[in-house]
Amino acid sequence: MTNSAPGGQTYLLVDGENIDATLGMSILGRRPQPQERPRWDRLLRFAEDIWEQPVHGLFFLAVDTELPMPFVQALTSIGYRPVPLSGTPDQKVVDLAIQRTLEEIARRDADVMLASNDGDFVPQVEALVSGSRRVAVLGFEEFRNSRFAALVPRGLECFDLEHDVDAFTVPLPRIKIIPIDEFDPLDFL
């Protein structure tokens, strides 16, 4: 665990579309059931615990016409500030907003965690790791854009939503390399 600087602040930016799409299309191969979705409050707790400082959670949503009020209210009640966005069909509004937010954070004295696997954010994350702040990407290890790996030697931290953050209440059907000391044949029989 890393100790915080006095008066430190972490911004946790959640690309909910990317995490949901990766979970549904790449891991499950179908729409996730409610019990298979991330517990977003666990991301906030993880961010607070790992860097031992207050966290400001921003959850970015693409919204066509109507706010998904039950989801927005749930996010608000657990401590996120929902950021509902709209635009033209050719705009990736969530990506644009997160890119702009990362660029603004670069002008502030704050740490940042980004929950996304998306390589569209690599330039902004690279600019952030060039300073003295702490920067992390949270996602699914095997689906994280490979360009983030080049930033690890420069200080980027990478956390897996399932294995490090413990954001799920059920195990996901992921294929990963298993250290022999952790291998249990019962998991496969």
Whether the pLDDT of residue 131 is over 80: the answer is no
Confidence band (pLDDT; 50, 70, 90) for 174?
Answer: confident
Q: pLDDT band at 1, cuts 50/70/90?
A: very low
CA–CA dist 184, 179 (Å, integer): 10
Question: Are 139 and 167 a contacting pair, CB within 8 Å?
Answer: no
47-62 per-position pLDDT tens digit = 999 999 999 999 999 9
Average pLDDT value for residue range 3-15:
77
Q: Return the pLDDT at 3.
A: 45
**119 has a pLDDT exceeding 70:** yes
Spatial separation of the C-alpha atoms in residues 46 and 68, rounded to whole Å: 26
pTM for the complete prediction? 0.90
Residue the block writes with tokens 């294995």 = 163
Instruction: Return the pLDDT at 187.
Output: 81
Mean pLDDT of the region 104-129: 95
- The answer to whether residue 176 scores a pLDDT higher than 80 is no
Average pLDDT of span 158-165: 96
What DSSP state is assigned to residue 99? H
Instruction: Give the residues across from 115 on adjacent strands.
Output: 14, 138
* Domain 10-187, CATH homologous superfamily name and number: 5'-nuclease (3.40.50.1010)
- Pick the more confident residue, 176 or 88: 88
Higher pLDDT, 124 or 3: 124
Does the pLDDT at position 132 exceed 90?
A: no
- What pLDDT shows up at residue 8? 87
Residue 4 pLDDT exceeds 50: no
**Mean pLDDT score, 148-155:** 95
Structure confidence at residue 86 (pLDDT): 93
Give the count of beta carbons closer than 10 Å to the beta carbon of residue 64: 7
